[in-house]
Each structure stands twice: as C-alpha cells, then as structure tokens.
Chain A
Amino acid sequence: MKSVVTTVVSAADSAGRFPSSSDLESVQGSLQRANARLEAAEKLANGIDAVAKEGYDACIKKYPYLNNEGEANSTEVFKEKCLRDIKHYLRLINYCLVVGGTGPLDEWGIAGQREVYRALNLPTAPYVEAMRFTRDRACAPRDMSAQALVEFRGLIDYVINSLS
C-alpha cells in the first residue's frame, strides 16, 4: 500500500541499497507531519456518523430530484446506501490520514469507481456536493487544529477531483 515509507523502501529495494540518509530524511519528514494527520483521523473517527449524515443531508437538499420515484434516493434502502457510500469515503479518508498517503483511497475507493457508478446509473455530482459541504463545514479550531484541517481538506479535494 502506498505510503511514504513503502515508497522509500521500494525505491531503495529496486536500487539494491540499504536505506540511505536521504531515505531516512524522507521518512522523518512524513513523521513530522504525522501528528496533525493522526489528530484529523481521530476527530473524524469520533464524529464520522454525524459528519456523514450532514454531508448526505446537504447533497439531498441541493439535488432534491433524487427523492423522486425511480431516482437514487427514492426508497429507504437507497437512502441507507447513499449515506453508507458517503461514510465509506470518509472512512477511506480516515485511513489515508493514518497512512499519510492516498493508497487506501486509490485502491479501495477510486479504482473502478467510474465504471461502478456508470453501471449503476448513479450521478457523481451529489457525492461531490456531500464532500464539498463536509470540506467547507469543517473549521479550525472548533473541529480540529488548523494543520489537521489542511490535511483533511486535501484528501477531500482528492476525492472530489476523482469524482468530477
């Protein structure tokens, strides 16, 4: 899984050398930022149900047609699945914050995403709206420290870009 350490180790391995001082410097750099990332991960994990619900409500508010007969949010089962999907992205963001790279999102969220949504005939705009709302709703220092918020927003933007 892609993270700073695994990238460094792969590079050293393909060159067949021991970890050099520049490798250790890269790892050190990622460890320095790790506290902010873990803070964001912790705050997100604590509030993930509420955060997902707010994002979900915001996207349905912006796209009320989704409640119409036959649309993606029309039945109880669909509503539950929409909320679950948003929570799923937030959980992957939580993982990415822990790893310090986009590996979990890439491998479990984004790979194949386009094909799945196309096959299920789902619009991606509501997901973007849910993510955008979550990104703009979070604020420092109420939710987390400023540095943690930067890391969190960066990953939300990464998801938005993958969906748009």
Chain B
Amino acid sequence: MLDAFSRAVINADSKTACIGGDELASLRSFISEGNKRLDAVNAVASNASCIVSDSVAGMICENQGLIQAGGNCYPNRRMAACLRDGEIILRYVTYALLAGDASVLEDRCLNGLKETYIALGVPLGSSARAVGIMKACAVAHINQTNSMYSGSSKYRKMETAQGDCSSLAAECASYFDRVIGGLS
C-alpha cells in the first residue's frame, strides 16, 4: 500500500534519483492542503451510512426488479449484503482519499471484485450505478453542496472552515470512477 509520499519515492527509486525540486513542490501542496483533505475524509466517513443507503435506495428506485422475487436485492438477506458491499467500497474510497493514492483501493478492494460479482451473479450495471450515486453524494458532502434537504431535519451541515475543495472533490470522484471502471 502506498500514499502520496511513498508513490513519489517509488517513482524516484525507479530512476535511482533523489527526490527534490518539482516532486517536493507537489508534496508541499499536499501538506498545506492537509487539513482540507482530513475534513473531506471526515465529511465522507461521518455520513457514510447516509451515502450508502441513499445510493442503494436510488439504484433500486431506478430498477424495481431488484426487490421483486428473483431480483438481487430481494430477500432482506441479499439487500443487507448489498448495503454491506456499498459500505466496503465507500470505506476503501475514503482510505484512498486519506492516503492520496489509489493503491489501497486497487489492491484490497477492486482486485478480483468484478470476477467475484460475476461468479455470484451480482448485476455489474446496477452495482456501478450505486457507486455512481455514492460518487455524487460524496462529492456533494465534500463541497458542502448537499443542499437537497436544506431547511429540513434531514439536512446535515458539517461545521468546517470554508474553502475551495474542488480539487479534492475531483480526486475523490476519480477514485469512484476507478471503481466503476473496475466493475465494467
């Protein structure tokens, strides 16, 4: 498993070069944006169950066949397995976001996931759709644009310092895109 720093080390080692100049500049910006990153990880992790249940519910709304007899979310047992998988995927995405590198997501989550789902008969398209909704939710929480329920009791506002989190949101979205890519 790597993080943003060890990724730079691996790259430098392949050239037997020291790390200086340009690479250090990008790592410095990682450090100066560090608090933002931790807030972003916290925003996703703290709302994890909301993000997961919304995405699975959204997936089912769009495809009611999933909760009818023969559907893959039909008895509660399989619905629970689906929610659990969503949570696992989201958890690895938060790890990747914390580390600033996708290797933990690739090695521990995506490696063999598609083959497992095919073997178990899990519909890949529906899984990818649920991940797509998780991506939208997570990005909204990071950017604090989760205003759909604004004004109601369902609205969750995280009290963090205000700032531009667009690059972190884009990074987080790229990890979800990796999951979607890995499933299709």
Contact = CB atoms under 8 A, between A and B. Distances in A.
A99 interface: yes
A5 B3 contact: yes
Interface of A is mostly: helix
B31 A38 contact: yes
A104 B9 CA distance: 8
Nearest to A6: B1
Interface residues of A, number: 38
B6 A1 contact: yes
Interface stretch (A43-51, A64-72, A129-137, A152-160): A43-51
A85 interface: no
B31 A34 contact: yes
Interface string A113-135: 00000000000000000000000
Contacts of A104: 6, 9, 13
Contact of A45 (B10, B19, B48, B104): B19
Contacts of A20: 45
Considering residues B5, B12, B48, B94, which has the most beta carbons from chain A within 10 angstroms of its beta carbon? B5
Q: Which interface class (under 10, 10 to 19, 20 to 34, 35 or more) fits B?
A: 35 or more
Given A19-B94, A42-B24, A108-B13, A98 B42 contact: no
Contact of B45 (A18, A41, A42): A18
A46 B98 CA distance: 30
B9 A28 contact: no
A99 B5 contact: yes
Interface string A1-27: 101011011101100111111011001
A27 B98 contact: yes
A31 interface: yes
B38 A24 contact: yes
B38 A28 contact: yes
Interface of B: 1-3, 5-6, 8-10, 12-13, 16-21, 24, 27-28, 31, 34-35, 38, 41-42, 45, 48, 91, 94-95, 98-100, 104, 108
Interface of A: 1, 3, 5-6, 8-10, 12-13, 16-21, 23-24, 27-28, 31, 34-35, 38, 41-42, 44-46, 48, 91, 94-95, 98-100, 103-104, 108
